């Protein structure tokens, strides 16, 4: 009995290190300030800086570890050591949601099951988010034959050019 393994790497979408690297450095600085304050002054401000540093660090790590790999058969969302494989035919929609803690988030909505976070915007200066969103939507539409719906750009807050992946 043989098993067929698909070694196709596919197109990988992720947040560039130049975007999340400084955020992680800032989180480490917050932790350092908090620890120094606790050692030298033993005050509440040290705990505040420590908590902020940990919160920013966890949020940055969530963004940095998120990857989307698009193959000819499926889209694979990888986070930390887990991966979720969704065949293109089962992806019902690619939508953008806004949340307070995560900012702009791209969700893949499968036919059956929970929506899966595919992309997250790293900062206001992250121009790769719109580009990656356009590439993901264009690939989804070409794989499934789905036509763009009227109002997609109003619902998501992005222009039609960005939704199709072309230059704006």
- Of 8, 44, 15, nearest to 119 by C-alpha is 15
Is there a domain that residue 115 lies in? yes
Is there a domain that residue 138 lies in? yes
Is there a domain that residue 103 lies in? yes
pTM, full prediction: 0.68
**105-135 pLDDT, tens digit each:** 888 889 888 888 888 877 666 678 888 888 8
For residue 84, what are the β-bridge partners? 77
Question: What CA–CA distances, in Å, run from 145 to 29, 32, 52, 114, 139?
Answer: 48, 52, 45, 23, 10
Range of the domain at 100: 88-159
Residue 167: what pLDDT?
38
Is there a domain that residue 71 lies in? no
Is there a domain that residue 3 lies in? no
Number of domain units in the chain: 1
Whether 69 has a pLDDT exceeding 70, the answer reads: yes
Mean pLDDT on 61-78: 87
CB atoms within 10 A of CB 38: 16
**Do residues 160 and 149 make contact, with C-beta atoms less than 8 angstroms apart?**
no
Is there a domain that residue 74 lies in? no
Residue 35: what pLDDT?
94
């Amino acid at each position: 009995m043989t098993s067929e393994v698909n070694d196709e790497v596919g197109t990988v979408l992720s947040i560039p290190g130049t975007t999340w690297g400084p955020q992680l450095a800032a989180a480490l600085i917050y932790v350092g300030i908090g620890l120094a304050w606790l050692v030298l002054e033993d005050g509440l401000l040290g705990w505040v800086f420590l908590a902020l540093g940990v919160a920013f660090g966890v949020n940055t790590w969530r963004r940095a570890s998120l990857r989307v790999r698009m193959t000819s058969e499926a889209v694979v969302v990888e986070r930390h050591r887990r991966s979720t494989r969704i065949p293109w035919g089962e992806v019902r929609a690619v939508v953008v949601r806004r949340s307070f803690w995560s900012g702009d988030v791209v969700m893949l909505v499968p036919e059956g099951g929970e929506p899966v976070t595919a992309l997250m915007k790293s900062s206001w200066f992250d121009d790769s988010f719109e580009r990656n969103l356009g590439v993901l939507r264009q690939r989804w539409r070409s794989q499934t034959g789905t036509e763009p719906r009227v109002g997609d750009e109003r619902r998501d807050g992005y222009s039609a050019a960005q939704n199709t992946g072309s230059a704006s």
